[in-house]
Every structure is written in C-alpha cells, then in structure tokens.
C-alpha cells in the first residue's frame, strides 16, 4: 500500500503508519479510501495480527480529513438523476464502508493521535475501538465539516451521538467545534491523554492489557444511546427544541446543519449499518447543494490558497520579518503588536506618551493572559511573547525594523507626521504600511520619501479574532513591497487579500453598501425592526442599523459628508445622507460609542439594547408588517447591493481575483457565508438572472441597483466569475 505501512511486532501488534506520499499533512483521497478497505481485510485475515495501532507518519498531525478536490465533481450539482445519484453515493460511501470494515474486523484497533485529527481524520479515530491523544494545546480534535457547508460522511454523525448522546454531540456536529485532548477526554471521545510522543506506546499498552475490546459499544446487545433516543424526554428536547433553535440561528440558509440534524434523528432509530447509509444519502444531498459548492470553494480552497500566498507577485524573493514597528498603541495598534509577538517578531510599540504606549502593552498582556487562562498557551510562552514588545515614544528604536505599520487616527496630517518620523530611521528596504480603512493609499504615500515601499495594510477589529488583512497596493507600490507584506501577513497567521487603491478600497466600500441600503429602507418607511430582522435572515452577522451603530454613526456621517464635499456638484443627496444628518449633527446620536444610535444602549451591565423609540418620530414607518414577498424583496436588496459593489470593484480593477473578493467579504465584514461570497452568489444565481433582477430593482428603487457593463457582458457571453456561468439555483 502507498499510504499505509504495516509493522508487526513480536506480540502480534501491527503498527499501521498513515503517511500520504508528497504531502505535508495526511488527507483522505480515493486511493486512501481504497487502501483503508485493504487494511481492514488485512487486519481481519492475517493470523499474525492480534491487534493494531493506527498512527501518523507526519509531524503535522494525524489527519486533516478528506481531500475535497475529490468531491468537486458533485459539489453544487443540484438534483441528480437516479443513476448519477447512486454513483455519487457509491463514491462518497467508500470511506464509511472501509471504516465500518475496520470497526468490525474482529480485532482491537487503537488510534494514536499526535496533532490535528479533524473531519475524516477524526472519523477514522471514531471507528477505532480505543483512542489516545497527545496532551498538547495545539492538538485539535473534531468534525469540522459544517464550517464549509458539508456534513460528516465517514460515520461521524452516527458514532458521535452514540458515544456521548445527541445533545452533547450537537455543537460538535452543527458548529464544527473542535476540542483539545483534555476536553475530548472529559466528554468521553478519547480514552487516554498522554505526553506528546507517547500515544503509540499507550495504545499498545491497552492492546496488551487483556481488556482490549474488539467490539464497538453500538454493536453490543445491551447498548443504549447515552441520554436516550429521539423519543425520550431528552430526545424530544434535542430534536424538537433543537430544530427551532437551529432555524432561529441559521434561518434555513445552511442545508448542512439541517441535514445533519435529520441524519442524527433518523440514524439513531436504526442499527448502525442502516444509519451509515442514511448519513451517506444526506451527505450527497448536502454536497450537491449550491451552498456547499460556494462554501467549499471559498472557505476551503480559496482560503488555503490565499493563506499560502497565492496573491504573491511572481519572481520576488522570500522575506522574513524579524523586527516590526507599530505607531499608535490604541486597541488596533496593540492588537497588531499582539499578533506580531505571538509570531515571535520583535515589536516596537510607539505612542505620543509613555503612558499611552504602556497602556497598549498592557492590552497585549491582557490578551496573552486570557490565552493562558483558557489553556491555549503556557505561561512561559506568554511571558516570552510579551518580552518581545517594547513600549516607547522613541522613534529611534525603529532602526533595523523590516516593516512599520501606522495605526493612528484617520487623519491625513497625523498619518503624514508619523510616516515622516518613522522613515527617518528606516532602511530603504523596509516596508512602510498604513492601517487605514478608507483613506486612499496613493494619497497617503505622498507623505513618503519612498512611495514604492509604501502600502496599505488594513487590519480588522478586534485583531486577535479577525483573520483577514486587506493589503492595498498604491499607484507607486512596488511588487517587492507587496511580496514582503504578504510574507509578513502569513507570518502572523492571517489571510492576506490584495486589492488596488480606491476610496474605501474593497472591504469598506462594499460593506458600506449594506449599511447604506438599510438606511435607504429606513428613509423609505420600512420599520427598523423589520430591516434588522431581515438583515440577520440574509446570513449577515447583524442587521444594517445595529451594525451602523457598532461602526459609529459619526464615522459613517464623516465618510458620507466628506464624499459629498469631494464630489461637489456631482454629489447626489439621498436617504442615507438625510438619515445620518438627522442622527449625528442634529440629534447627537453617535451609535454604541455614546449609548445612543438607532438603538439605546443601557449603562447597566447585561441590559439589552432596544430600538430608540424616537425613530418613529423622525422616520415615520409606512411598512410595519412583514409577509414572505416583502421579506424576500428586502433580503434581495441587502445582498444584491453588496454583490453589485463587489462586481463594480472587479470592473474597475480594484479586485483582480474573485478569490480575494469572496474570502475578503466573508472574513472582513461577515458577508453571508452560505453564499460563498458576493461573486459566488452572482455565479450561484446565474449572471443573466442576476442582471435581470438588478434591472428590476433599479427600475423600482433607483440607479444604485443598475448592473455594471461587466455583468452585462458576462451575461451575454454566458460566463461567470469562476468560469462558465452557473444555472440559476433553485
């Protein structure tokens, strides 16, 4: 076998080493599935083998799950004819069939997990009779398929609830939540947690103990589902209430979660072999949904490619940042410093006073202490990371820095001043970056004595939780500077996207259309509760009005009013301008920051926000009752506004790669993940159908919905952003 090596010791224990040739991480492709079946047959028929331990030959971990490229042919295929559906089922059921054969081979099999074991990798472990994991905070165990629009297809949705009960299994299956080894042991998913490097010996010790059992719990006559089956009180709570909660949380946007719940409910009523076939059928149904295609492509394929530097200019030498500077020690600057320290980068954190700089470093310490308290890192590692951060007012300490990022106020004059101070001590090869969310980089680069080394590096708040960095190339930014910046972003374990200069760049520009459309609705008489409820129904994290409060209404007003000034006579006043003018300069309602925006934010800890009662006085609602047609219309307006702006960014050359657009949208401002991103949404709908709908919306609601020439050309040519245009998804 190519992927599995078998060594049998004197006690008859077979050490099965899983090691896929030519890959840094074990994944499960067609060949591995076939060889798992061969392995099961060998374990069953070889009299010399008394038991087996499955371990990884990779330092990177046990197994990262299925190689999703093998499923790409069926992803998003829609309703299949019976023959094709059987073909798809037979293909995806290979893994489940092979793992069941290992589970029933008649000999005890243990899994020795050092490092990552997720998705199909954890399903291999669940099919073993004993599981040992290394005690390492970096180890992750779990079934993560739901995060990319899929569901377990190797028995995970059936074995997990049989091990720990449906209620305990629900968050692991529906949310794709991963566990550290100690957590997995506490829940009963792992039998032993041992020191790193000791998993194989611990597994062998179990096999030699005399208590090794070759029969899975669910194959025994006296087996009972922990917590009871679907028709017990616990089952009623899980499946009846759980269905309602799932609907509340997902609004029916995610077929994977719905199908997982159905597979568990139906599977727990029948023997395991029938349950595995049920899972296989629901897996095919999930895989062929348009949501799965978009999510797999963007959240798996595109994210992996961009995370490995797909946007990096060709031919540029690799670089490594050893020392970095951050100008501005506020929440954003301190967050950037924290990310750098975690990556082992010496960091100089500068502010106008020592007190402000020290406050920034204190925030870094708080983030590190939180990680220690949650078991994500040791106290020693946290102390070492903090020691890398120097809080100061002295720009001379930037000497020798490979990159400096200014994170000061969104004020051109202030940014120009700190840029000049930093460049006075930087080497010619150092990168000077600006963490701005809206100010054009080419304009900011005018303050630089070396604009070819000046670049936009837009972090998202809070930096410790947000995984995206938007890199903005100015008119004079060199390819070498872009390459160095991408290397830096990858070093701090963020996902880089690269865009060209524009007002608002890509993410801020598109995100603002979501807020803008919400304010158009408010100014047009739609009740605010209806606007935000529908906003959440689209799959966005929150509604447009509450998001505007979070961003800060005075910032929105500053952007809108400044844009109007910049455009002069070409500016067209509209509902958003009028709404913000009323809310900010006239009423002083700035959003969450001063406790007064579209919502009121009580000072009492834990008190819930409430829509401001005065909204009705200033923006009288004429539409207060919802109906399916109205909800569909509002959802379309909110999603299509954003998708249209993303398409305009492509047409204008702000975005060159659809992967940057879709990954940036989901990671940057939370664009509905079920779509795969705004450009994937257009492909999913079908470009021609999307253009026709936009023409209708433009006729009813105004020219902001007019599709750009690019989309009309694509519709005429029958092509999409990712190749040939998709048929309209039902």
Closest CA to 131 of 200, 179, 64: 200
Closest CA to 662 of 653, 675, 652: 675
> In degrees, to the nearest 5, what angle opens at C-alpha 644 toward C-alphas 642 and 647?
115
Three-state DSSP at 284 gives helix
Place of tokens 């096999």: 207
Whole-Å CA distances, 660 to 292, 308, 663: 19, 13, 5
Whole-Å CA distances, 275 to 157, 226, 262: 9, 17, 11
Cβ-based neighbours of 631, under 8 Å, separated by 6 or more: 534, 537
Check: CB of residue 291 under 8 Å from CB of residue 184.
no
Q: Where are the alpha helices (DSSP H) in 392-440?
A: 412-423
> In degrees, to the nearest 5, what angle opens at C-alpha 647 toward C-alphas 642 and 650?
130
Three-state DSSP at 497 gives strand
Strand partners, 6: 16
Strand partners, 431: 403
Cα gap 624→328, rounded to integer Å: 46
Phi (first) and psi of residue 114, to 5 degrees: -110, 115
Taking phi over 0 as left and psi of -120 to 50 as alpha, with beta for the rest, 530 belongs to: alpha
- The DSSP symbol for 726 reads P
- The DSSP symbol for 449 reads S
Written as one string, the DSSP assignment of 179-205 is B-HHHHHHHTS-SEEE-TT-HHHHHHH
Hey, what are 414's tokens? 């202030």
> In degrees, to the nearest 5, what angle opens at C-alpha 278 toward C-alphas 274 and 279?
120
Closest CA to 181 of 140, 235, 219, 240: 140
The count of other CB atoms within 10 Å of the CB of residue 652 is: 12
Cα gap 113→571, rounded to integer Å: 62
Cα gap 14→719, rounded to integer Å: 53
Strand partners, 432: 404, 454
Is 618 among the catalytic positions?
no
In the chain, helix, strand, coil percent, each to 5? 50, 15, 35
Q: Which one of 129, 191, 338, 458 is the catalytic residue?
A: 458
Cα gap 477→444, rounded to integer Å: 12
The count of other CB atoms within 10 Å of the CB of residue 480 is: 17
Q: Which residues of 110-127 are buried (b: 16+ CB within 10 A; e: fewer)?
A: bbbbbbbbbbbbbbbbbb
Hey, what are 636's tokens? 């379309």
Q: Where are the alpha helices (DSSP H) in 625-708?
A: 628-651, 658-669, 678-685, 687-701
Total H helices, total E strands in the chain: 30, 21
Residues carrying an active site annotation? 458
């Amino acid at each position: 076998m190519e992927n599995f090596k078998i060594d049998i010791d004197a006690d008859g224990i077979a050490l099965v080493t899983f090691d896929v040739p030519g890959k840094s991480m074990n994944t499960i492709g067609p060949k591995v599935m076939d060889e798992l079946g061969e392995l099961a047959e060998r374990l069953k028929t070889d009299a010399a083998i008394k038991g087996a331990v499955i371990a990884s030959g990779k330092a990177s971990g046990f197994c990262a799950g299925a190689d999703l490229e093998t499923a790409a042919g069926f992803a998003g295929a829609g309703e299949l004819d019976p023959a094709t559906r059987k073909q798809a089922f037979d293909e995806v059921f290979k893994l489940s069939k092979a793992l069941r054969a290992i589970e029933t081979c008649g000999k005890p099999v243990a899994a020795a997990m050092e490092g990552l074991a997720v998705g199909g990798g954890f399903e291999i472990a669940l099919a073993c009779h004993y599981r040992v994991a290394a005690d390492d905070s970096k180890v992750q165990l779990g079934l993560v398929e739901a995060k990319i629009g899929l569901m377990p297809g190797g028995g995970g949705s059936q074995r997990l609830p049989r091990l720990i009960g449906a209620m305990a299994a629900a968050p692991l299956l529906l949310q794709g939540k991963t566990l550290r080894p100690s957590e997995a042991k506490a829940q009963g998913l792992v039998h032993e947690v041992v020191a790193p490097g000791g998993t194989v010996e611990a597994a062998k010790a179990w096999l030699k103990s005399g208590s090794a059992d070759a029969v899975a719990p669910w194959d025994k006559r006296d087996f009972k589902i922990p917590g009871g089956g679907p028709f017990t009180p616990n089952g009623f709570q899980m499946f009846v209430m759980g269905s309602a909660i799932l609907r509340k949380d997902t609004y029916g946007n995610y077929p994977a979660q719905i199908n997982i719940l159905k597979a568990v409910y139906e599977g727990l009523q029948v023997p395991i072999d029938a349950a595995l076939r049920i899972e296989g059928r629901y897996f095919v149904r999930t895989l062929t949904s348009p949501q799965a295609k978009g999510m797999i492509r963007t959240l798996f394929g595109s994210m992996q490619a961009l995370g490995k530097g797909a946007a990096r200019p060709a031919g540029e030498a690799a670089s490594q940042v050893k020392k970095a500077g951050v100008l501005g020690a506020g929440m954003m600057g301190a967050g950037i410093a924290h990310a750098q320290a975690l990556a082992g980068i010496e960091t100089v954190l500068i502010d106008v006073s020592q007190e402000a700089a020290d406050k920034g470093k204190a925030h870094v310490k708080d983030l590190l202490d939180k990680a220690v308290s949650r078991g994500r890192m040791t106290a020693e590692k946290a102390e070492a990371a903090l020691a890398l951060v120097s809080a100061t007012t002295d720009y001379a300490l930037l000497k020798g820095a490979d990159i400096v990022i200014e994170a000061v106020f969104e004020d051109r004059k202030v940014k120009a001043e700190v840029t000049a101070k930093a460049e006075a001590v930087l080497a010619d090869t150092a990168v000077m970056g600006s963490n701005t969310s809206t100010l054009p980089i080419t304009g900011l680069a005018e303050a630089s004595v070396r604009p070819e080394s000046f670049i936009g590096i837009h972090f998202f708040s809070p930096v410790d939780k947000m995984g995206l960095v938007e890199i903005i190339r100015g008119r004079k930014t060199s390819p070498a500077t872009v390459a160095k910046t991408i290397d830096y972003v990858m070093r701090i374990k963020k996902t880089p996207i690269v865009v060209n200069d524009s007002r608002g760049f890509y993410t801020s520009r598109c995100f603002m259309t979501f807020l803008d459309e919400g304010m158009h609705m408010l100014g047009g008489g739609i009740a605010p509760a209806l606007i935000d409820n529908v906003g959440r129904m689209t799959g966005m994290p929150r509604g447009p009005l509450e998001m505007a409060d979070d961003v800060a209404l005075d910032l929105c007003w500053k952007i809108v009013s400044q844009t109007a000034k910049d455009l002069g006579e070409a500016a067209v006043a509209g509902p958003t301008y009028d709404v913000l003018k009323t809310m900010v300069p006239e009423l002083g309602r700035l959003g969450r920051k001063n406790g007064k925006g579209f919502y009121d934010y009580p000072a009492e800890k834990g008190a819930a926000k409430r829509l401001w009662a005065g909204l009705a006085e200033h923006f009288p609602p004429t539409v207060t009752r919802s109906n399916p047609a109205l909800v569909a219309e509002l959802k379309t307006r909110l999603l299509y506004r954003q998708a249209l702006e993303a398409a305009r960014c492509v047409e204008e050359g702000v975005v060159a790669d659809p992967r940057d657009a879709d990954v940036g949208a989901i990671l940057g401002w939370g664009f509905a993940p079920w779509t795969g991103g705004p450009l994937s949404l257009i492909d999913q709908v079908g470009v021609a159908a999307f253009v026709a709908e936009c023409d209708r919306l433009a006729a009813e609601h105004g020219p902001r919905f007019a599709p750009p020439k690019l989309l009309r050309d694509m519709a005429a040519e029958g092509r999409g952003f990712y190749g040939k245009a998709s048929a309209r998804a039902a």
